[in-house]
Structure 1
Amino acid sequence: MANKHILHMLTPLKHMSPFDVNMALDAGFDAVLPYVDVGLAEVSGLIQDAIFSRPPDAGVDTGIFIGGKDVSLALDMFDAAKKAMVPPFKISVFADPAGSFTTAAAMIAKVEKSLAANFDRSLKDTRVAIFGATGVVGFCTAVIAAKEGADVTIVGHDGVERVDRAASAMKSRFAVDVKTADGSTDAHKLKLIVEAEVILTAAKAGVQVVSKAQLKEAHTLLIAADVNAVPPAGIETVAVSANSEPIEATKAVGIGPLAIGNVKYRVESGLFKRMIQADAAVTLDFQDAFSLAREIAK
């Protein structure tokens, strides 16, 4: 009789994301067990409790998912989970806090494909301005773009203090350098928009970041992409379903949240399936998400 595919889902928050629970079950896990209010110090004990319940050759049928809404904490928990393995007892681990790894991977993969198809460009040295970069999706988007050689500026809607801290965390953990900028006024934002070649918005749902009037001044802009599917759009005139569609009164194209979300959905599902189908335990983070998103994005 085949072993059950069991996924233990850990989060430091009060609730596990229903989105991720649904995704895991639809991907094929037989059972999904959420663990909430999990502290970093508790991860090792939970992992070892899971790995020793099955013989080493059955470890691949057990998985750990790490959620939450804090990229740094999720990666600390991810590292703690890997360190808790006692070979030959190993199980698979997948981190995707608030869907940030898979969403960011999808966004950058879509932008990368659009740059190549529409402008014969790569991310390398492309000027990218990211609004909402202190949130989990924006943070991870900045890291992936910077790792691909983009000239990244993260923009603070309330000044530079928080984005400065985010930039420092990116440099410390990922060895990437990003610039910071004040986007607290329309004048400050316009200056950044005018200078950018790619604009990415990952602000909270229902907040318009970039207006149609500001876009008209963006003469060097190539791509504007938004992950906000809740009206109003994060970038005015970029439709939710836009898939590299021309933006009115500019030479740029827009990528909307549904185009990004379609790739994100397939990436998260694909990584869950990879855990289930693997012959040996796997560990999956934002780099694995980006590799898969590049295969999927069109």
Structure 2
Amino acid sequence: MSDATPILHMLSPQKHMSPFDVNMAADAGYKVIVPYINVTLEEVTPLVQDAIFSRPPDYGTRTGVFIGGKDAILSLDMLEAARKAQVPPFQLSVVADPAGSFTTAAAMVACVERVLKNKFGRDWKGVKVAVFGATGVVGFASSIIAALEGANVQLVAHRGVDRVIKSAAVSKERFGVDLEAVSGETPEQKREIIANAEVIFAAAAAGVQVISKEDKAIAKKLLVVADVNAVPPAGVDGMELFMDGAQLPDSEALGVGPLAIGDIKYKTESGLFKQMLESKEALTLDFRHAFALARQLVA
């Protein structure tokens, strides 16, 4: 491995780069960290090529690009642009984790997978999963990860089904998965979805409760429910922050809480940065690589 100074260029299409991600990168071992804000897709190629051509090829794995923001599709497009901009042997490693949500999604799916395996002897094959907050980045990434593992995934719309239909179409086009877009706008629609789900991902906005005590009462098939919302009220009634496979109050289902997920998320994001620093080859990392690492961490 080269002794070159590890440099990370952090690109955000928004007006700020997340301090969370900056801190994570520094603690993982990057010595020079430079944020770039309001970056457009078209600007990724020249930025990456400035980074690769200014260092010898053997410095490439000590040079990294992080892609942030809050838009999953744009982040994936920027990731692909960064990959295509490289001119071997001039290369670097790049990772996308918009709003920290790719690593959060990976951690949630891995934590639920562990509970399914240890408590029920199940893997993801044929498991009926309902994703609430499906239009967010966590919901988008977690639905694809679970579907890639063989789950039957429903994307639940709480305000117009068109957006989740679009999300399902994008997921099919990019990742070859079949996701079912369903409307959960009325109480009757929502109850039917909950009553038939075996796993629920509660990935709605912070402070929004999506599963009530009454909802839990009708969830007779529910095995595991995960909640990424640490802001009161809990996304799932009765969910405790550190719950990690314990039984939910007033339910037979087992819960996975936001700080149990957050612990694995933190270790996953840090681990991806370290993979980039330690690799002898240039890496391109998205939520699928995050899930592979999160799986190792929960094991």
Superposition TM-score, scaled by structure 1 size: 0.98
Contact 1:263 1:296 in 2 (8 A): yes
Q: What's the counterpart of residue 31 of structure 2?
A: 30
Which residue is equivalent to 2:222?
A: 221
Q: Residue by residue, what CA displacement relative to the aligned partner does 1:24-68 show, whole Å, maximum 9, x if unpaired?
A: 001111011000111111100000000011111111111000111
Partner of 2:253: 252
Aligned partner of 1:80 in structure 2 is: 81
Q: Which amino acid aligns with 2:98?
A: P
1:139-189 Cα shifts (integer Å, max 9, x gaps)? 001110111110000001113111111111111111110111111122221
Which residue of structure 2 aligns with residue 13 of structure 1? 14
Q: Secondary structure at the match of 1:221?
A: coil
Structure 1 distance, partners of 2:282, 2:197, is 42
Q: Which moved more, 1:278-287 or 1:32-41?
A: 278-287
2: distance between equivalents of 1:163 and 1:138?
10
**Residue segments in structure 2 that go unaligned for 5+ positions in a row:** none
Q: Give the Cα separation in 2 of the matches to 1:280 and 1:153.
A: 37
Instruction: Report the 3-state secondary structure (helix = DSSP H, G, I; strand = E; otherwise coil) of the residue aligned with 1:94.
Output: strand
CA drift of 1:75 comes to: 0.8
Question: Which secondary structure state, in structure 2, belongs to the residue aligned with residue 167 of structure 1?
Answer: helix
Q: Work out whether residues 159 and 181 of structure 1, in 8 Å CA contact, stay in contact via their aligned partners in 2.
A: no
Moved more, 245-254 or 210-219: 245-254
Cα deviation, residue 100, structure 1: 1.6
**CA displacement at 1:250 relative to structure 2:** 2.3
Query: Which residue identity does 1:239 align to in structure 2?
Result: E
- State whether residues 7 and 62 of structure 1, in contact with CA within 8 Å, keep that contact through their aligned partners in structure 2: yes
**Deviation per CA, 1:213-233, whole angstroms, max 9, x where unpaired?**
110111110001000000000
1:149 aligned onto 2:176: no
My pick for the range that moved more, 273-282 or 144-153, is 273-282
User: C-alpha distance in 1, partners of 2:194/2:98?
Assistant: 29
Q: Deviation digits for residues 250-280 of structure 1, max 9, x if unmatched? A: 2210000001010000000001011111222
**1:180-205 Cα distance to aligned partner (Å, 9 max, x none):** 11111222211110010001111010
Q: Structure 1: give runs of 5+ residues left out of the alignment.
A: none
Q: How many residues align?
A: 298
Whether the 8 Å CA contact 1:7–1:63 is kept in 2: the answer is yes
Aligned residue number for residue 93 of structure 1: 94
1:134 aligns with 2:135: yes
3-state SS of the aligned residue for 2:90? Answer: coil
Instruction: Show the counterpart of 1:290.
Output: 291
**SS of aligned partner of 1:68:** coil
Partners of 2:222 and 2:59 in 1: CA distance: 52
3-state SS in 1 of match to 2:66: strand
1:106-157 Cα shifts (integer Å, max 9, x gaps): 0111111110101111111000000001001100011101111100000011
Question: What secondary structure is seen at the aligned counterpart in 2 of 1:153?
Answer: strand
How far residue 77 of structure 1 moved from its aligned partner, in angstroms, is 0.6
Task: Give the fraction of aligned pairs with identical amino acids, expressed as a percent.
Answer: 56
User: Which residue in 1 is equivalent to 2:282?
Assistant: 281
Distance in 2 between residues matched to 1:280 and 1:139, nearest whole Å: 29
| Inter-partner Cα distance in structure 2 for 1:202 and 1:160 | 17
Separation in 2, partners of 1:57, 1:10: 23
Of stretches 235-244 and 179-188 in structure 1, the one that deviates more from structure 2 is: 179-188
Q: Retained in 2: the 8 A contact 1:205–1:229? A: yes
Q: Secondary structure at the match of 2:3?
A: coil
CA drift at 1:248: 2.2
